[in-house]
Homo-oligomer: A and B are copies of this chain.
């Protein structure tokens, strides 16, 4: 296993210690070893709190997006494993500034069960809370079963836009509405070229041939739509765009923010080659591009591959997307 670590069991804890040590202005541990990270100034009185959570191994997702105009707290599990309901309840307490808390996270069975459980726990403490679950991975279920889809890089838009709405002083119902609207506006498709390695597993999550790629693969190696020979950049981009547009058409005059995301090892050079295609085609379609994002926004450690997310915007979402925000991984 080619990973830089001391001990597979301390991977997450040591990572969080380093993260908070490097960026104390953004991240603070709620208590040592709790794996709950909050903004140092949280809870912020009078502001709706936003929490997320999920498995480690996806930086900047989840913890990275704790920051001004973004999230208030997060609960972190082992690599690719849900944090416990207990941690999530703790994150909600840390985020609650008296106006309630939005739970905003990706649609994975374990995470959903635990966040619901956490909601039950803090309800007893009179913390009102709501839930918005991202289910943007179009490859993970047919449109008819869209609610079963997994949540992937669309989270980045939901964090940003909901975070801006909370920052603007909106109440819990309103922040929740806007978060849900963002979640509904996001579609993502991924393609993997190589596997990553979960430290505790010690070997690659899946095998894939030297010249193969897998279209539609999930960020933990969940099976995709097809596996076959590695294609040219423009062919890959074309197919990914076709899939996204089939699920959520974009008409002339509409606007979209595209996120061309590296799953980890794929370098920015190659993301820009892909973006070149995406931009030309959207221009051709007469679709207006707003704040294109190209980089590593939602990853699977050292996995090579990319995902495309299209977040369809209207005036409201565009305003919140462009509002100032700040964390160690992203400044707007």
Contact = CB atoms under 8 A, between A and B. Distances in A.
Interface of A: 2-7, 11, 14-19, 21-22, 56-57, 59-60, 64, 193-194, 210-211, 230, 232-234, 236, 264-276, 279, 292, 294-296, 299, 301-302, 304, 306, 329, 331
A57 B269 CA distance: 7
Please indicate which of the listed interface residues A11, A268, A301 has the most CB atoms of chain B within 10 Å of its own CB.
A268
9 contacts: A2-B211, A4-B266, A5-B232, A6-B232, A11-B269, A11-B273, A19-B272, A22-B275, A302-B304
Given A4-B306, A306-B4, A18 B265 contact: no
Number of copies: 2
A273 B12 CA distance: 9
Contact of A233 (B5, B60, B210, B306): B5
A193 B4 CA distance: 9
A5 B4 CA distance: 29
A14 B266 contact: no
Nearest to A235: B6
Given A21-B279, A276-B18, A299 B331 contact: no
A199 B329 CA distance: 29
B5 A294 contact: no
Please indicate which of the listed interface residues A15, A193, A269, A295 has the most CB atoms of chain B within 10 Å of its own CB.
A269
B59 A268 contact: yes
A203 to B, nearest CB: 11
A269 B64 CA distance: 11
Contact of A299 (B16, B194, B233, B267): B267
A304 B301 CA distance: 11
Nearest to A258: B22
A21 B275 contact: yes
A232 B14 CA distance: 13
A222 B233 CA distance: 29
Contact of A234 (B6, B21, B60): B6
Given A15-B269, A15-B276, 16 more contacts: A2-B210, A3-B270, A6-B232, A6-B233, A7-B232, A14-B233, A15-B270, A21-B275, A22-B279, A56-B269, A59-B268, A59-B269, A266-B302, A267-B302, A269-B301, A296-B296
A193 B3 CA distance: 8
A18 B271 contact: yes
Contacts of A233: 4-6, 14
A292 to B, nearest CB: 5
Contacts of A292: 22
A285 to B, nearest CB: 15
Q: Which 3 A-B pairs have the closest CB atoms?
A: A18-B272, A18-B276, A265-B265
